[in-house]
């Protein structure tokens, strides 16, 4: 279900359908660019469509930022803050709930 992405973002068909339905394909690309710029030590991104179990036809894309196993808390906090500030500044407020950011730590 999740797609590992590098320079170019590719997502599975359900996620593509979601982006088309919401008219958010360009916003998704911007979200991924923001994640890359706010976390310069990024090892990779994974994107997963998450359906809301309590409400029919409600979903969001979860963008998982994969970081090195050893990553300073101060850099994580600064990157997360910068990411959310940029999202608020660049994404229409009504579309912000379409995207969620999570972090994952792994081996380099």
Per-residue pLDDT of the chain (108 residues; tens, 9 = 90+): 443 434 556 678 889 899 999 999 999 999 999 999 999 999 988 898 999 888 888 899 999 999 999 999 999 999 999 999 999 999 999 999 999 999 999 865
* C-alpha triplet 63, 87, 8: angle, nearest 5°: 45
Domain that holds residue 79: 3-106
In this structure, the strands spanning 99-106 and 44-51 are unpaired
Q: What's the domain count of the chain?
A: 1
Specify the CATH number for the domain of residue 85.
Answer: 3.30.70.1350
Q: How do residues 50-76 score in pLDDT, each as one tens digit?
A: 998 888 888 999 999 999 999 999 999
- Within the chain, strands assigned E span 3-5, 44-51, 59-68, 99-106
């Amino acid at each position: 279900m999740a797609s590992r992405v590098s320079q170019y973002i590719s997502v599975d068909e359900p996620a593509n359908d979601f982006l088309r339905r919401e008219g958010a394909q360009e916003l998704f690309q911007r979200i991924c660019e923001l994640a890359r710029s706010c976390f310069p030590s990024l090892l990779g991104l994974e994107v997963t469509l998450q359906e809301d179990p309590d409400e029919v036809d409600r979903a969001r894309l979860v963008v998982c930022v994969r970081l090195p196993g050893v990553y300073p808390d101060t850099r994580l906090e600064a990157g997360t803050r910068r990411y959310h500030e940029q999202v608020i500044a660049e994404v229409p407020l009504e579309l912000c709930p379409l995207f969620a950011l999570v972090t994952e730590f792994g081996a380099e």
